[in-house]
Structure 1
Amino acid sequence: MTAPPITEAPAAPPAPSRTRLLLTVILTGQFMAILDVSIVNVASPVIRSDLSASGSGLQLIISGYTIAYAMLLITGARLGGRYGGRPLFLSGLAVFTVASLACGLAASSAQLVAFRLLQGAGAALMVPQVLIMIQTNFEGAARARALSLYATVISGAAVIGQVLGGALVSADLFGTAWRPVFLVNVPIGLALLVAGLRLLPRGGPRRHRPLDLPGLVTLSLAVSLLVVPLVLGHEQDWPLWGWVSMGASVVFVGLFALVERRSAAPLVPARVLMARGVIPSALAVFGLMAGYGGYLFSLALHLQGTLGDSPLRAGLTFVPAAVAFTVSSLNWRRVPERFRRPMVVAGLAVAAVGYLGLALALSGGGHGQPLLWITQAVAGFGMGAVFSPVLAIALTHVAPEHAADASGLFVMVTQLGQVVGVATFGTLYLGGASMTTVGVALAATMLATGGCALTLLRR
């Protein structure tokens, strides 16, 4: 089947100074969206006390954002491909900003849950457009640099969210307790909207094809049936409904595959999946982010629960990993091209060594410093040497007109990997396993992911 024609010619490449400003706008939007996943965790005890939230209500306040975000990512990507990245990014940003204001002013836990769902929906419209605009506005070395910054934002926002959340809650600005963790998004969002209206390109490839509603519905149901029990299950001791839901998710994945085979405009076209390196790269991203999400979640629980650290101190503990991730993510382009594919596999092995070192550092029952800092830096360096290169390898063989489809695929894989990692390693830790055991499991996951990535070595 031939691809539907591109009905709008790509815009002329913007000037270098304008592309830098463009990248600043879209990556700041991405930063806010990821920040909101972790920043609320730190504020959860204060929110529960202030709003008299029930246990399930608090879970939905924390997780509702992730549920809506993960479920609607592929839809946001497809809409971006149909109508253009600019209007979808700005629309998602506007929804996210308004929802953040509403969250900060919420008077009850029910209101906060509803506004968190709306926040997640806004993020799902906004975030896929970031990769779309990187793919369509940058080429060669400029694209590699943009992907490096993209990866840095993903890793840094998760850590900064915990540090910033702890600082804002501890400061109790004007007696507002937890509310600044949401309200901080409002001035930034408004500034981005003004800048985005001026800087985001109006052109770019658009594909006026059907939205494939059957595919959107079946995939959204498959993702939600998986994500909801993974997000809420460990807090409810893995009830029967969760297992039934995850089983139904498998059924809907099969149904989605059948629907897509008959679709004239499938959500993820075969030529994207069959592009060289896309499938092994997606598996590598999934495994890497599962380990990263599980590491952040389980170690944060250990530091604040078992070791009694404050939220701020716990957040600061992750800084060595974030710094090392940034260093390797921003410098992988210095490696000669012929070594970049082997670097992905080597980076996963280095991350495994870091996680094993973390297990050793915490085996004595204390903070294990300075060994904990060193081993986190090793793990972070290895992960940073994987994420950006593997995205660059995959996107090299994806045509610009398929940028929306590839963006939706990789953004969804990134998010699902983190959700699965939190559920898996969080359950392992909450089930009584020591952080030493969790560290060994994280290392094993990196090695298994490295095995999946070995196919990238075949040119």
Structure 2
Amino acid sequence: MTQSLTQSPPVAATAPVTVRRPLAVLAVILIGQFMAVLDASIVNVAIPSIRTSLHATGSGLQLIVSGYVIAYAVLLVTGARLGDRFGLRTMFVTGLALFTLASLACGLAWNSGSLIAFRFLQGVGSAAMVPQVMTLIQRQFAGATRARALSAYAAVISSGFVAGQLAGGLILNGDIAGTGWRGVFLVNVPIGLALLAVAPRILPTAGTRVDRKLDLPGLGMLTVSVLALVVPLVLGHEQDWPQWTRIALGAAVFGFIGFALVERQVHRIGGEPLFADRVLRAPGVVLTAITLFLIMCTFGGWTFLFTIHLQSTLGYSALHAGLIFLPNGLTFGLVSLYWTRIPARLHRMMIPAGLVIAAVTMVVMGLQMRDGHDIGPLELIVFGLMGVGYGLAFSPLMARATGKIPLALAADASGILVTCVQLGVVIGVASFGTAFLTLAGSTALSAAHAVATTSLAEGVTVLGAAAFAWRATSERPGMPTSPA
């Protein structure tokens, strides 16, 4: 029998979290979130240096970027459940320790293959740590306070993106102790150690724990399906799309269908599927998940290709390239932080309108760069407006989808939404990144044309996201009240 949304959940899922210092807890978990985002963006600036140092191919670079996110994405829901099973604090600290150790290993990697492997290990650590962030926000904050906490969460995501670009440029330009690109990973080590020293003392213990069931069949199907989709997209263009890539892409389609069937079967036999039916049936969750996937697909793909274009085609230094991203990240962060001050009656229209702004500016940026000229004031203004558009959509969508979800479903709901966010980054880098690398050719002009063409495709995708956002917001799941 299908479990209703209001059916009584396991006791641990509803047990309150004992928090004496909520602001301190929020600070600690958001620093952990910041590290995870920083690591996803800081490597983008280092891509050209890694290519030169490790003689990495284009597909190797894509796997270095997306390998981290693949492991992160497919293990997020499992990480959230392990938080309920072993305690939020235990899983956060365990994930943080693994992430810090893997960062050290990345900084010591000897070739592109070892770096890819250690990046996957970083993703495993993030998958154990990050789900506890959203779950704690869901369980500790409510109403307008939750909206503010979610806004801070979104602001951390965007500020981590900006900090990653700038810190990566500074580290590479400074070449501290001759570490070069390795410094972009080693910087995580002191931050991680400091956080490990304070997190066990600050983070709360959960209420009654529960031995939550792990959906291992679903996890296996999802992992295989994602790899079957991403690996041929990443490797295909360099190998001239051999037969195995087409077979793998076809298998990915059947794999995702099989994943859906496995999830239904797990639900029927009383298990707990990764994508729980009672969460998916909550108003707006599915459409919001699709919208967030498309948003991050375009955002991740654009970041990857634009970084390569700035450094490899235009010849900008890592620091110069990082500074180019500043207007986009700042506007994204500021809007994500202060969108609740916009009158509540405009919230529903604000989300799809923001995505239309993002789509238009994405296309304009591509057209402006199609002749290969340098980035000027006009491009920086357009890039900043793109951040405004994304900021008007991302955090409000998260807040709207989670506003009426019971605390019992907080871990699974956050896991599903953040999984879709991270899978969007993976598919964006694999698909739009591959399209750009295939079209770029060997001349600066062909690379500039590749930016324009790929940007047009991304703009159309963002318009699709706007359509889904319109449908998602029409379900009215209940936006948290805006603070005064």
Alignment of 1:50-449 (within 5 A): 50=53, 60-107=63-110, 109-204=112-207, 206-263=209-266, 264=270, 265-432=272-439, 433-449=449-465
Deviation at 1:331, TM superposition (A): 1.0
Q: Which residue of 2 aligns with 1:10?
A: 15
Deviation at 1:46, TM superposition (A): 4.1
Deviation at 1:453, TM superposition (A): 1.5
CA contact (8 A) 2:45 2:318 kept: yes
Check 1:59–1:345 CA distance in 2 against 1; reply closer, same or farther (3 A cut): closer
Tell me, in whole angstroms, the C-alpha distance in 1 between the residues paired with 2:409 and 2:75: 19
Deviation at 1:249, TM superposition (A): 2.1
Check 1:338–1:232 CA distance in 2 against 1; reply closer, same or farther (3 A cut): farther
CA contact (8 A) 1:231 1:419 kept: no
CA contact (8 A) 2:366 2:453 kept: yes
RMSD between aligned alpha carbons?
2.4
CA contact (8 A) 2:13 2:408 kept: no
Identical pairs, percent: 51
Deviation at 1:168, TM superposition (A): 1.1
CA contact (8 A) 1:77 1:125 kept: yes
CA contact (8 A) 1:205 1:401 kept: no
Check 1:236–1:332 CA distance in 2 against 1; reply closer, same or farther (3 A cut): farther
Check 1:205–1:386 CA distance in 2 against 1; reply closer, same or farther (3 A cut): farther
Tell me, in whole angstroms, the C-alpha distance in 2 between the residues paired with 1:451 and 1:9: 35
Mind listing any 5+ residue stretches in structure 1 that lack a counterpart?
none
Structure 1 counterpart of 2:372, which letter? G
Tell me, in whole angstroms, the C-alpha distance in 1 between the residues paired with 2:302 and 2:54: 30
Tell me, in whole angstroms, the C-alpha distance in 2 between the residues paired with 1:209 and 1:310: 49
Structure 2 counterpart of 1:74, which letter? V
Tell me, yes or no, if structure 1 residue 20 matches structure 2 residue 1. Answer: no
Deviation at 1:44, TM superposition (A): 4.2
Check 1:107–1:234 CA distance in 2 against 1; reply closer, same or farther (3 A cut): same
Bigger CA drift: 142-151 or 421-430? Answer: 421-430
Check 1:242–1:126 CA distance in 2 against 1; reply closer, same or farther (3 A cut): farther
CA contact (8 A) 2:48 2:308 kept: no
Deviation at 1:448, TM superposition (A): 1.3
TM-score (norm 2): 0.87
CA contact (8 A) 1:72 1:124 kept: yes
CA contact (8 A) 1:332 1:385 kept: yes
Check 1:245–1:71 CA distance in 2 against 1; reply closer, same or farther (3 A cut): farther
Structure 1 counterpart of 2:144, which letter? A
Q: Which residue of 2 aligns with 1:457?
A: 474
Bigger CA drift: 411-420 or 49-58? Answer: 49-58
Deviation at 1:323, TM superposition (A): 0.9
TM-score (norm 1): 0.92
CA contact (8 A) 1:70 1:227 kept: no
Structure 1 counterpart of 2:139, which letter? T
Tell me, in whole angstroms, the C-alpha distance in 1 between the residues paired with 2:34 and 2:230: 22
Deviation at 1:144, TM superposition (A): 0.9
Tell me, in whole angstroms, the C-alpha distance in 1 between the residues paired with 2:207 and 2:141: 12
Structure 1 counterpart of 2:463, which letter? L
Check 1:114–1:144 CA distance in 2 against 1; reply closer, same or farther (3 A cut): same
Tell me, in whole angstroms, the C-alpha distance in 1 between the residues paired with 2:111 and 2:382: 42
Deviation at 1:45, TM superposition (A): 4.6
Structure 2 counterpart of 1:440, which letter? L
CA contact (8 A) 1:71 1:224 kept: no
